[in-house]
Amino acid sequence: MTAWNIRPIASALWRNRTGAILVAFQIAIGLAVLVNAVYVVKQRVEKIGRPNGMDTANMIWVASAGFAKDYDYKAAYSEDLATLRGLPGVKAASLFSNIPLSGGGSSSGYQSRPGEVGPKETVPGNKYDVDEQALAALGVKLIAGRPFEAHEILPPSETYEDSPQAIVTRAFAKELFPKDENFLGKTFYNGIGEPMTIIGVIEHMHGAWVGWDKLDNVVLFPRVKNGPSSIYLVRTEPGRRDAVMRDIEAKLGDSNPGRLLRWVRPFDYFINQSYLDDRNMAIFLVSVTSALLAITALGIFGLATFNVSTRIRQIGTRRAVGARRMDIVRHYLVENWMVTTAGVVAGCGAALGIGYWISVKYELPRLDLYYLVGGVLTIWLIGLAAALQPARRASTISPAVASRTV
C-alpha cells in the first residue's frame, strides 16, 4: 500500500466518472479563460497607466465657438486669454488647435531632408498650434532649448502657412535623426519641402490617439489657427482646478453674446473617454472571469459533496477498519486533485491555443509561459479550497455507520 493510495482512489473515481469528467471540462475552460484574461487585462492596465508627460490633474480645457456674423474672433481670443490668465489660481493658459489624448487631432508626415522621400523616411507627428504659454500650461519637461516667445507666435491668417520654428518631443526627434543626441537647431521639413527648426525638445508628451503607436511623436508650432472656434488650455495651482473651472464658467459664460461657451472640462474627462474601451474591457474580463471561476469552484464543491454523500457507508467501513480522519480527508483531496489535474492538462492546450489567437489578433507578443504556470497553481488552489469542506465533513462520519444498516 503506497502512502497516498493513488490506485484505489483512481479506481473509485473511474467507477463514477461522468461527474468528474464534467468538472474536469469546467476546469479546462476555467484555466484557458483565466490565463488569457489575466494576460489581456495586464496589457490594458499598463496601457492606461503609462505616463503621458503632462500635469494632468491640474489641467482644464475650455472650448468657445463664435457663431455671429460680426464675431471678431481675434479680439475675442485675446480677451479670453487675458481673462483666463488673470484668474486667481491660474498658472498659465494657452491656445491649442486640438486636445491631446482626446481621440481628435491632426497629424502630418515630416522628413529629415527636403525633396521626395519614401514612406519609410516619413515620420508622422501629432501636431498642435499653440502660443507662448503652452509649455507652462502643459506642465511638460523641457530637456533642451526654450519655450516659444510671444513675438514668435504667427497670427491667424486666411491662408495656411507652416511656421519656421517647432518644439518637438524627444521621441519624434529621435525618429527623424536616429544617429543624433542633440536635436537643438536641427532642421526638418514638411511634405512640400518647407523647413522648420527645432528650438526646444520636450522629454515626453502624448498626442491625440491612444491606440496609435506614434502617440509619443508630438510637434508644437507657434501659431494661432484661424476661425471662430477656439480651444484654451488652462493649468492651475495644485488642488485649485475645480474652483478655477467654476470661475471660468462664470467669467466666460456670457462675456460675449456672439459666441457659445461650449464647455469647460477637466483633462481627465478626455483621458477617461479615450481609455474607456480599454478600461471597460478590463472590467468585463475581470468580472466574467471571476464569476466563471466561482462557478467552477461550486462545481468542484458539488462533485465532492455528492461523492461524500453517496459513499457514507463505505467511509464508515474504512473508518471502522482503522483509517484515520486524516486518511479520509486525504482521500477526498487527492481524488479532487486528480480531477483538477485532468482538467488542467486539457486546459493548458486550450489556453495556449486561445493565447496564440489573441496574440495574432491583437498583434501582441506570444503568451508568456509564466501566466500558464500561475494559472495552473491558482486552479489547483481553488480546487483544493473548494473540496476542503466536503472532505472535512467526510472525515466526521462515524465508524458506527458501517455496522448500522448492513
Partner 1 sequence: MFGYYLELAFRNLKRNPGLTALMIGAVALGIAVCVLTLTLYRAMSGNPIWWKNDVLYAVTMDFWDPQEPAWDDKPHLPPTQLTYRDAMAVYASDIPQRKVIMHKAVGILSVDGQGMLPERAATRVTTKDFFAMFDVPFQYGGTWTDAADAGPEPVLVISRKINEKLFGGANSVGRRIRWNDNEFRIVGVRDHWMPLPTFYDVNNDVLEEPEDVYIPFGWSVALELDSTGNTNGWKPEDIKTYQQFLNAEVIWIQMWAELPDEATRNRFQAFLDNYAMEQKRAGRYQRPLNNRLTKVDQWLVDNNVVGNDDRVLVGLAFAFLAVCLLNTVGLLLAKFLNGASITGVRRALGASRKQVFYQHLVEVGLVSSIGALLGLALGALLLAGLRSLYTVDPTDAGGTQAIAHVDVTSVVTALLLAFFATLAAGLYPAWRIGRIPPASYLKAQ
To the nearest whole angstrom, how small is the minimum distance from the Cβ of residue 278 to partner 1?
A: 9
Cα gap 99→103, rounded to integer Å = 8
Binding to partner 1 by residue 33, rule CB under 8 A? Answer: yes
Kind and range of the H or E run holding 302: helix 276-309
Q: Which of 48, 136, 142, 292 binds partner 1 (CB under 8 A)?
A: 292
Number of residues in contact with partner 1, rule: CB under 8 A? 60
Q: Are the C-beta atoms of residues 300 and 333 closer than 8 Å to each other?
A: no
Query: What are the two backbone dihedrals, phi and then psi, of residue 65, each rounded to the nearest 5 degrees?
Result: -130, 115
292 three-state secondary structure: helix
Query: Which of the ranges 4-12, 153-161, 198-206, 216-224 carries the binding residues for partner 1, by CB under 8 A?
Result: 153-161
44 three-state secondary structure: helix
The set of residues, in sequence order, having a beta carbon less than 8 Å from that of 29 and lying 6+ positions away, is 292, 296, 347, 350
DSSP assignments along 65-89, one per residue:
EE-STT--HHHHHHHHHHHHHHSTT
Q: Which of 13, 31, 40, 92 binds partner 1 (CB under 8 A)?
A: 40
Query: Which of the ranges 47-55, 169-177, 190-198, 376-384 carries the binding residues for partner 1, by CB under 8 A?
Result: 190-198
Q: Which of 341, 50, 361 is nearest to 206 (CA)?
A: 50
The set of residues, in sequence order, having a beta carbon less than 8 Å from that of 324 and lying 6+ positions away, is none
Binding to partner 1 by residue 37, rule CB under 8 A? Answer: yes
Binding to partner 1 by residue 160, rule CB under 8 A? Answer: yes
Binding to partner 1 by residue 161, rule CB under 8 A? Answer: yes
Query: Which of the ranges 60-68, 81-89, 212-220, 238-246 carries the binding residues for partner 1, by CB under 8 A?
Result: 60-68
Binding to partner 1 by residue 385, rule CB under 8 A? Answer: no
Question: What are the residues binding partner 1 (CB under 8 A)?
Answer: 18-19, 22-23, 25-26, 29-30, 32-33, 37, 40, 65, 67-69, 71, 109, 118-119, 158-161, 190-193, 260, 262, 265, 269, 272-273, 276-277, 280-281, 283-285, 288-289, 291-292, 295-296, 298-299, 302-303, 305-306, 309-310, 354, 358, 361-362, 405
